Amino acid sequence: MKKVLFLAIKDLKVLLSNKGNIFWVFGFPALFALLFGAIYSDAGKEPSGIKIAIVDEDKSEFSNSYISKLESEEALKISRAGRDEAIEQVRKGQIAAAVVLKKGFGDGFEAMFNSDEPKLEIAADPSRKMEGGYLQGLLAKAQFEALGDKFSDRKGLRSQIDLWRNDVKDSNDLDSKQATLYSNFFDSFDTLVKDVNDKNFNKGFKGNMLNFTKLDVSKEYNGPITPFQITFPQALLWGILGCTATFAISIVKERTHGTFERLRVGPIGLAHILGGKGLACFITCCLIICALYICAKTIFKMPLGSLLLFVLAILCTLLCFVGLMMFICTLGRTEQSVGGAGWALIMIMAMFGGGMVPLAFMPSWLLPFSHVSPVKWGILALEGAIWRNFSLTEMMTPCLILLAIGTAAFLLGVFSLRRQEQ
């Protein structure tokens, strides 16, 4: 064990002897964390600032009211434009969508719900599907609110009921029995709207048609969730990934420079050498994590769900990536090949595991692939300890998967290394 420690200390000395190394191992993950923090600084909030253009071809009182509802949405930034101009802006990627309120948009309920000839058109940027989907939700919400406004106006509602009654009278499709049923219903409805007192009318016909309360699924603690808390696991993972690549390359460097051979001739086994390398990688990762954690605590005031589970998540994640380091170092015989192949593998793991793009943005057919990425399980374990309020049992799934991946990669790496030696 003493010799493993000597080997690890030597590796740390070699690592710290180079200012470039210090930056890439310690500075880069910190910068990455800050960058992620900035990118996802709105995490936990609703999206804001979706730019859309409204084309009001109806120019009715209802369309005006509808546009006002949309303008009151914080998530939208609305401009008014002509049809061609608005569509051109979408094509150029200047706005997410153009919404066209066609002539007749405000002509009562039929206009709003007529599926044969819709009075509302949306031209959305196909590359911004998430924003497009969110926009459709907001448009529907505004429609329901506008509808709610109509219901809250007795005069307007009664004239709408008159229109429905006339439709029933003029209809050739209904037999007399059915027509009588509808007429009786609309008469009663009209009487209700006319005679009900203000208190009951307001209770029954006014108010938000779509109303809900958001439930907070994050850990209960005193204080708000900081954006850094959400992005902290990703930042940690990037620090660990960088460190993994650095040490994998250092093993190859030892092999190409002959120091590995000198050590192999010494009175120590391959296990000592790899153990030393693993320990150095582990210690370096711990230092990175400590540095990032101190930074998160002092600068970003980041709260931590459970320190014990956090330590467990860190331990399992580190063991997994130390194992992966052993595998990565056997991907080539030169520093260049291992550097290239190692980073390619890391990028793929990060990409599929939610280290680059959140898993929610990933196409559904790609999602099953994320299960094999240790980045996913690392982030999940860290999130579980930081804000997902995981119990020890819940933590077991990501932790055991991380340990299994790490062990498999370590064994595969040692096997390949022994094979390459011969």
For position 7 contacting other proteins by CB under 8 A, the verdict is: yes
**6/221 with CB nearer other proteins:** 6
In the stretch 265-304, what mask flags binding to other proteins with x, by CB under 8 A? Answer: xxxx------------------------------------
In the stretch 198-237, what mask flags binding to other proteins with x, by CB under 8 A? Answer: ----------------------------------------
384: which residues sit within 8 A by CB, 6+ positions away?
305, 309, 313, 390, 394, 395, 398
**188/334 with CB nearer other proteins:** 334
Answer for which of 65, 153, 264, 287 binds other proteins (CB under 8 A) is 264
For position 259 contacting other proteins by CB under 8 A, the verdict is: yes
CB of 5 closer than 8 Å to CB of 278: no
**10/103 with CB nearer other proteins:** 10
Residues 15-74 that bind other proteins (CB under 8 A): 17-18
Q: Give the largest CA-CA distance in the chain.
A: 104
**12/291 with CB nearer other proteins:** 12
Answer for which of 258, 307, 363, 364 binds other proteins (CB under 8 A) is 258
For position 421 contacting other proteins by CB under 8 A, the verdict is: yes
**Minimum gap (Å) between residue 422 Cβ and other proteins:** 6
Rg, C-alpha atoms of the chain: 31
Which string of DSSP letters, residue by residue, matches 149-191? HHHT-HHHHHHHHHHHHHHHHH-SSS-HHHHHHHHHHHHHHHH
Count of residues of this chain found to bind other proteins when the rule CB under 8 A is applied: 21
Q: CA 101 to CA 122: how far, in whole Å?
A: 9
Q: Which residue has the tokens 């229109």?
A: 163
The two tokens of residue 189 are 């409805």
**10/102 with CB nearer other proteins:** 10
For position 362 contacting other proteins by CB under 8 A, the verdict is: no
**Minimum gap (Å) between residue 271 Cβ and other proteins:** 12
12: which residues sit within 8 A by CB, 6+ positions away?
280, 283, 284
**Minimum gap (Å) between residue 238 Cβ and other proteins:** 25
CB of 242 closer than 8 Å to CB of 20: no
CB of 78 closer than 8 Å to CB of 101: no
Candidates 379, 388, 327; CA nearest to 353 is: 379
**267/368 with CB nearer other proteins:** 267
Q: Which positions lie near other proteins, rule CB under 8 A?
A: 3, 6-7, 10, 13-14, 17-18, 257-259, 261-268, 421-422
